[in-house]
Structure 1
Amino acid sequence: MKTPDAPSFPIWPAIAPTIACHTAVWTAICAVGALGSYRDYVGQAVHGYGHFLLRWLAYHVPMIMLGSGLSLALSRWPALFDSARRSALIYTGLLFSFLPLEWLYVAFCDVLFRGAGVAWAAVCSAFMAMPMFNRFTEFSWMSGTLVAMAAIGNWRLARVREAGWRRAQNDNLALQLALEQQRMLALRAQLEPHFIFNALNAISALVRTADGPLALSGIARLSDLLRYALAAGARETVSIGEELQFVHDYLSLQRLRYGARLHFVIEGDSVAVRHGDCPPLLLQPLIENALRHDLDSHEGEGDIRLSFALAGNDVLIRVCNPLQPHATPNPGAGLGLQNTRERLQSSNKQASLQTQRVDGRFLVEIRMPLQVA
């Protein structure tokens, strides 16, 4: 009858405390019953209260044994009464084995307390003459004990299963959190080399033009950018103001490469917006994507715009660049928008990133809750 719902453990060390517990419970019940019997015979009986208590205890020894036995069985097999079929079989077995023996024991106690001498014939006679009410009373005690133990056993089993379910839920949530953190780290690991690669491309373009001072200036700016990227990458969130400063520094580096062709406008960067938080390195991939699909695709001037707007409890961030119908395609590696979308979803399930073409421009829009960094 061993089940996988709960582990079994040795039964013998629990015998003494279990019997003591049930003896104490039944002693309290017998004390109340004996008090009632004593009051019924006040002025008539020659025996005191102790005599009635002794008789009640003697009559209920089988109940103490039954309760203790069921408790020990439950400690060994916690799911003993979990099945209705098994419970019915146990009840039927007690009904046809324990109950007749209990009636016989009660008859023996009747003969013993009458003081007429204990003989098998006298016990059998008392057994046959036992009133139906007494039989029903013993039947009720047995049934009540079984029902009570079954209820206690199933309650304990339910608590064990609930605790196991909660542990499993906590373990599952911890595993999901660990996986999400690893996924975020993997995205960051993809993002940072990608950013470094593109920044180095900008400097290499300056080196190829043999403009030494500009190249050195670019290396110094790249050092500042990398310092922020490494520091921000170790944090869960940064302020939008910090990200904007990083964008300005990044654009300064790119301006060394594109010169007067780089036109960039920032709108709506209010104090409330700047104090909001966001995932680190959120804006730079969007700016880089706009540069790649705008200035890298033609030889003319660019027109990239970054705007912020408040919409209730959300902040809207839009980055747009013109679409050149005859420009040379520059698809890039495809990491920027994809990584940004996944990092937003990982940091906040309510955040979203949408892209669309509007009036000859490519628009990236981020919506996320505005929270103070």
Structure 2
Amino acid sequence: MNPPPISNPTVALAAWRSRIHTILTNVLAWTGICAAGALASYNDHVRAGAPESYLNYFERWWVFHVPMMIFSAGLSLALTRWPALFDSKRRATLIYAGLLLLFLPGEWLFVAAVSLHNKGGGVTLHSAWQALLGMSKFDGFTEFAWMTGTFLTMVAMGNWRRAKARELAWQRSQTDNLNLRLALEQQRMLSLRAQLEPHFIFNALNAISALVRTGDKSVALTGISRLSDLLRYALSASLRDTVTIAEELQFVRDYLALQALRYGERLQIHIEGDDDVVQGGDCPPLLLQPLIENALRHDLDCHGGSSDIRLSFARSGKDVLINVSNPVSRHASPNPGMGLGLHNTRLRLKLSSAAASLHTELRADRFLVEIRMPLTVAD
């Protein structure tokens, strides 16, 4: 048989402190009400010419309202302990009716006994009952109004606190969900970068290998030097969330210079629309090079002629359009490569901005890749 769980002393002490704070808060609130009521009574008697000490009025008010202090404190504790108890209007009405039948007669009897004591009479159960029967309808209704108002106020405040707690809990859950989604997106971005770097290195080394096979050592050494510069940028840029389009264009030009060592005069590429505004925009790092590499694979690697690769930029409202196109020969042997370029680019665009997109299509005899993304200027 398992032993009963041991309560945490710290938690238990905090619970008791909370209960005591609730009771004291209700007593102080009613003390303030009694002070204001006693002052009103004192001023009325001053105008009538028969004043007493203000403390006498305050004492009577305070003693008369001791049952209401107990009632409001008990109701506050119940709302704290069982907040869902008053969520239903039907349940709240039944509780109110039960309290009306149990508490209100006792309060009337207490007020009658105190009134009898203040008049100097002996207080017995019989005399208190007789005083209760002789209580005016106005005094009886006043106590009923105090109880009803207290009940409605306490329930309204309890339900308001419960609604605020639910709202705060919902906000916390939304914040936690957003933080979790952000962490997942960051992990996905890191995963894509981890795939992209080996992919770029693999293809760049293939280009150097092709130069080495030609037997031209000086060209191969130049290619290795250019590859070193490219890898330095690729590794540093992959650690950043964004780079400028100008930086990406320079990286593309360096990459094309490396490829020109391999393809020579066959490599022909046209870049247009890269004005200062476009170049000042930011974009995910290593965005353009995979598109150029993809165009080379499906153009120069498929035939022995010259290339006709086009890279263009255009502004469209608050967006920038980037188009990369290359001729497609139906009879050329495909060179699929690793197949990661377009796939990773599309995913990385979506991670960088929900408004970004990548679209591919075969238009006439050209393969077109179109990127649309917000044109934002890096700080």
After superposition, residues 51-70 of structure 1 pair within 5 angstroms as: 51-70=56-75
TM superposition shift of 1:224:
0.8
- Corresponding residue for 1:111? 116
Given residue 345 of structure 2, which amino acid in structure 1 is its aligned partner?
A: T
TM superposition shift of 1:86:
3.6
Q: Distance in 1 between matches of 2:12 and 2:89?
A: 21
Q: Distance in 2 between matches of 1:16 and 1:317?
A: 68
**Could you tell me whether the CA contact under 8 Å between 2:42 and 2:51 is conserved in 1?**
no
1:28 to 32, 36, 49: 32
Q: How many equivalent residue pairs?
A: 367
Equivalent residue of 1:356, what SS? strand
Equivalent residue of 1:349, what SS? coil
1:274 to 259, 272, 279: 279
What's the C-alpha RMSD, in Å, of the aligned pairs? 2.0
Structure 2 vs 1, CA of residues 14 and 301 (structure 1 numbering), >3 Å: closer, same or farther? closer
Q: Distance in 2 between matches of 1:60 and 1:104?
A: 13
Unaligned runs of 5+ in 2: 1-10
Equivalent residue of 2:86, what SS? coil
After superposition, residues 119-134 of structure 1 pair within 5 angstroms as: 119-134=124-139
- Corresponding residue for 1:3? none
**Could you tell me whether the CA contact under 8 Å between 1:14 and 1:72 is conserved in 2?**
no
Given residue 37 of structure 2, which amino acid in structure 1 is its aligned partner?
A: G
TM-score between both structures, scaled by the size of structure 1? 0.92
**Could you tell me whether the CA contact under 8 Å between 2:281 and 2:376 is conserved in 1?**
yes
TM superposition shift of 1:62:
0.2
Identical-pair percentage: 62
- Corresponding residue for 2:300? 295
- Corresponding residue for 1:76? 81
**Could you tell me whether the CA contact under 8 Å between 1:8 and 1:75 is conserved in 2?**
no
Q: Distance in 2 between matches of 1:215 and 1:11?
A: 77
- Corresponding residue for 1:358? 363
Q: Distance in 1 between matches of 2:288 and 2:239?
A: 17
Query: Does 2:170 match 1:165?
Result: yes
Structure 2 vs 1, CA of residues 354 and 16 (structure 1 numbering), >3 Å: closer, same or farther? closer
Structure 2 vs 1, CA of residues 92 and 349 (structure 1 numbering), >3 Å: closer, same or farther? same
Structure 2 vs 1, CA of residues 295 and 160 (structure 1 numbering), >3 Å: closer, same or farther? same
1:208 to 199, 206, 213: 213
Equivalent residue of 1:116, what SS? coil
- Corresponding residue for 2:322? 317
Q: Distance in 2 between matches of 1:9 and 1:100?
A: 36
- Deviation string, structure 1 residues 317-336 (Cα, Å, up to 9, x no partner): 11110111211122333211
Equivalent residue of 2:333, what SS? coil
Q: Distance in 2 between matches of 1:269 and 1:14?
A: 67
- Corresponding residue for 2:144? 139
Equivalent residue of 1:223, what SS? helix
- Corresponding residue for 2:41? 37
- Corresponding residue for 1:175? 180
Structure 2 vs 1, CA of residues 323 and 15 (structure 1 numbering), >3 Å: closer, same or farther? closer
- Corresponding residue for 1:18? 22
Q: Distance in 1 between matches of 2:117 and 2:49?
A: 21
Query: Does 2:268 match 1:263?
Result: yes
Given residue 260 of structure 2, which amino acid in structure 1 is its aligned partner?
A: R
Equivalent residue of 1:372, what SS? coil
Q: Distance in 2 between matches of 1:28 and 1:357?
A: 82
TM-score between both structures, scaled by the size of structure 2? 0.91
Structure 2 vs 1, CA of residues 301 and 161 (structure 1 numbering), >3 Å: closer, same or farther? same
Q: Please identify, of 271-280 and 86-95, the stretch whose mean Cα deviation from structure 2 is larger.
A: 86-95
Q: Distance in 2 between matches of 1:209 and 1:201?
A: 13
- Corresponding residue for 1:245? 250
